[in-house]
Amino acid sequence: LLAAGVKLLLDDPISVLQSGFSPEVVAAAAGRSRRTFYDHFPSKHEYVRELLASARSWSADYGDQDMHLLDHLVAGLDGDLVRTIELVVTSPATAVRDSPSTLVQIVARIFGCHDAELAPLLRDAASATDEVNGAAIGTALGLWDLELRPPWTAEHLSAVLHALVQGLAIRRLVADEPDEDLTTLTVLTLLPTLTRSFGDPRTLDETLESFNRAASERWRDRGRSTQMTNARARVLTALREVLRTHGLAGATLERIAGAADVSLPTAARAFGSVDDLVVMCIEDYLPYLESEAHLDLTSPTTTVHDAAVRHVARLHRLATDDPHVVEALLQIGLIGTGSYDTKAGAFYLRLCQPLLDLLEHGRRSGVVNSTMPLDRAARLMTIGALGRALGDAHTAAEAAATELCAMLFDGIAAR
C-alpha cells in the first residue's frame, strides 16, 4: 500500500491531489481492497504521514524536484500552510500555472463541491488575484489536517473566498509592496478566526467581520513596519555621509534627519542618539566576528596566536569597509576608562570580548602571561587593530594583523 502510494504521489501528484488521497484509489493501485487499507491504517491522515515518510526514505529513486514536493506536503500535514500553499503554486511537479482548471477540480473534490458550484466562487476570488492562486489556497486548506475538520460546504468556501477578496482590498490600501505574498495574509489572519467557526455557518458573518478587522490591523502595522525599515536605511546612509563630510563633532541628529528626509522627532524616537546610530551601522557585523572567533577558539589545530591574527584581520576589514563609522566609535569616549553603561559602551565591550576569550584561553593553556590584565590587553588589541586600519587602509588585512599581533603578543607572552 505504501509503495503504491509513493508511486502515485511521485509519478502523478495531480491525480493523487484530485482524489484527496482517496483510500480507494490507493488500494486499487496496490491491488488491495478498501477494507485491507483500513485494516492497516486507522485513518487516511495516518496513511498520508507514513506515505510521506516512506517516500523520503526512497528518495534515491527520485529527483530533487519530487523531494521538494514531498517536503511541502509534510509541512502541510504539520500545519505549516505557507509552505503547503507554495507547493501548489511553485512546485514544478504540479505545473499548476499551466492548469488552473485542474486546480478547480482538485479544490472541488477536496471540499465536496461540484465544479459548477465552485467555478463562480473562484471567479470572485480571481477578481482580486488570479485563478491559480485562489485555487491554490483552497487546495492547501484542504490538504491541511485532512480528516480532523468537518467537511466544508459551498457556503463555507464562499465565505473563505469572500474574506480573501476583502483582505486583498485592505492589503492594497495599507501595504507598501503591491506584490506582497497572498499566503501570508491568508495564514496569519484568516485561519485563526475561520477555524473556530467551521461547521457553524451562523457564525460566518461574525468571523468575516473579525477577519477583516484583524487583517486591517495587521497590514496597517506591517505598513508602518516597512516604512520604519526604509527610514532606518535612509538614516544610516545619511549618518555615513554626515560623518564623512562633517566628522563626529558635526554629526547632529538634526543634520542626519534632514539628510535622510525624516522628521527630527521620528529620528529621535526611533533611533535614539547619534552614538546609538553609530552602533546600528556596524552591529550586524558583530555576530559574524563572534562566531568566527568561536570557531578558531575551539579548533584543535589553531593556536591562540593564529586565532588572534585571524580575528584582528577581521577587525581590520571592518574598519576599512566602514572607516568613518569605526572612527566615530573610537571617538565616542570608550577608550581606556570610558563609560560602558551606554548602548555604544556595551557594544564596544562586545567588540572586545572575542579577543578577551582568546587571551583567557591562552592563559589557561600557559602561553599568555598570567599576571597581565587581560581585559585591558583585549581592549588594547581591538583599538590597535581598528586604529591601524584607519591609519593604513592600503596594507592587506592579514599582513597588518600579523605585524600588530607580533608586537602585542611580545608583551603578553608567558616567559
pLDDT in tens, the chain (415 residues): 887 876 776 566 555 554 556 777 788 888 888 788 888 887 766 676 676 666 555 544 444 444 454 554 444 444 443 344 444 444 444 443 344 444 444 444 444 444 444 444 444 444 433 433 443 444 334 333 233 334 444 454 444 444 444 444 333 333 333 333 333 334 333 443 444 444 444 444 454 455 445 545 554 554 455 556 677 788 888 999 999 999 888 989 889 988 888 888 777 777 778 888 888 888 878 888 888 888 888 888 888 888 888 998 999 888 888 899 988 888 886 554 455 667 777 888 888 899 999 889 888 888 887 677 888 888 888 888 888 888 877 778 888 888 888 777 766 665 5
**Please, what is the angle between helix 100-111 and helix 154-174, to 10°?**
130
Give the closest residue to 18 by CA, choosing from 97, 142, 109, 85.
Answer: 109
Q: Where are the alpha helices (DSSP H) in 144-203?
A: 154-174, 182-185, 191-194
pLDDT of residue 245: 92
In a 13 Å sphere around the CA of 156, the CA atoms on its Cβ side amount to 24
319 near 384, Cβ under 8 Å?
A: no
Query: Which residues 6+ apart lie within 8 Å of 330 measured at CB?
Result: 383, 386, 387, 390
Residues 6+ positions from 184 with CB-CB distance below 8 Å: 82
All structural domains of the chain with their residue ranges:
284-412
d(CA 357, CA 355): 5
Choices 3.40.640.10, 3.40.50.2300, 1.10.357.10, 3.40.630.30: CATH for 284-412: 1.10.357.10
Tell me what pLDDT residue 56 has. Answer: 53
- Rounded to the nearest angstrom, the gap between the alpha carbon of residue 243 and the centroid of all alpha carbons in its chain is 32
Residue with cell 478587522: 213
Beta bridge partner(s), residue 368: 413
pTM: 0.47
